[in-house]
Amino acid sequence: MNEFQLYMKEMSQPMRDELTNAGFKELTTPEDVEAFMTNIEGTSLVVVNSVCGCAAGLARPAVLTALKEGIKPDHLVTVFAGQDREATDKMREYFVDIEPSSPSIAILSGNQVAHFIPREEIEGNELEAIKENVIKGFQTI
């Protein structure tokens, strides 16, 4: 790893920890993603994490609040856009016909996207509205 990569890893660690401390499993390699997506059953909440302000102030808090308020996915996983690029690219292969977006939130039934919340529905929105969008996504599957 070069100095820039080490710096970015250090700077992004609290952003990673915010999700992993809440029970999310980090998928950091394409192999991690493939193993997860190949054997997945039930429902999953996938957060495409990011260092941007809308991830810090909106996406992560909205997801964590939705979890506290009662959504119960079978699996919680995250990939980190811009940091674990290959893993993120691999996860996005499963988001069929969905443009890459970070941060973003995907709700899966099996390995199929049942509900997707792109950056455009996160940035500039209220935390409450994003949380409700996450909850609504689980109510549709």
Catalytic residue among 33, 48, 52, 122: 52
The answer to whether the peptide bond before residue 118 is cis (omega within 30 degrees of 0) is no
52 is catalytic: yes
Contact present, 127 and 108 (Cβ < 8 Å): no
Termini Cα distance of the chain = 41
Q: How far is CA 138 from CA 46, 83, 90, 109, in A?
A: 12, 28, 23, 9
Catalytic residue among 8, 51, 54, 141: 54
How many Cβ atoms from other residues are within 10 Å of residue 104's Cβ?
Answer: 25
Q: Which residues pair with 77 in a beta bridge?
A: 25, 46
| Secondary structure class of 42 (helix, strand, coil) | coil
Active site residues: 52, 54
